[in-house]
Structure 1
Amino acid sequence: MPARSKAQQEAAGVALAAKRGEAKVGDLKGASKEMYDSMSEKELEEFASTKRKSLPEHVSKRH
């Protein structure tokens, strides 16, 4: 499943770095922390690898 916004794609990249031990888990906050806790490394790779060119900066939350 691809990321829906640039912010989501970036948060996934930060969470992925933490999963791989390239960043400190303690430094995560907000969406990247939630993604780290709830997604597998493979899922994070899919989100982080989404092409950013056609993505909006942010997408409003759906309830």
Structure 2
Amino acid sequence: MPAKSKAQQMAAGAALAAKRGEKKVGELKGASKSMYKSMDEKELDKMASTKRKGKPKHASS
């Protein structure tokens, strides 16, 4: 599942770093914290590696 916005991609990247032990889980907030809990490393990697070109800063509701 590719990221729909830059913000979503960045949150996935933070959650992925925590999954890999590069960042403390306690430092996560909001979307990155829920992604950490609900997604596995493979899903987070796929979302975080989405190309940014043409993505909005935030996904519209």
TM-score scaled by length of structure 1: 0.93
Unaligned runs of 5+ in 2: none
1:6-62: CA deviations, max 9, x gaps?
A: 00000000000000000000000100000000000000000000001111000134x
TM-align CA RMSD: 0.7
Unaligned runs of 5+ in 1: none
Task: Tell me the distance in 2 between the aligned counterparts of 1:19 and 1:35.
Answer: 10
Task: Give the length in aligned residue pairs.
Answer: 61
Runs of 4+ in 1 over 4 A off after TM superposition: none
TM-score scaled by length of structure 2: 0.96
Identity %: 74
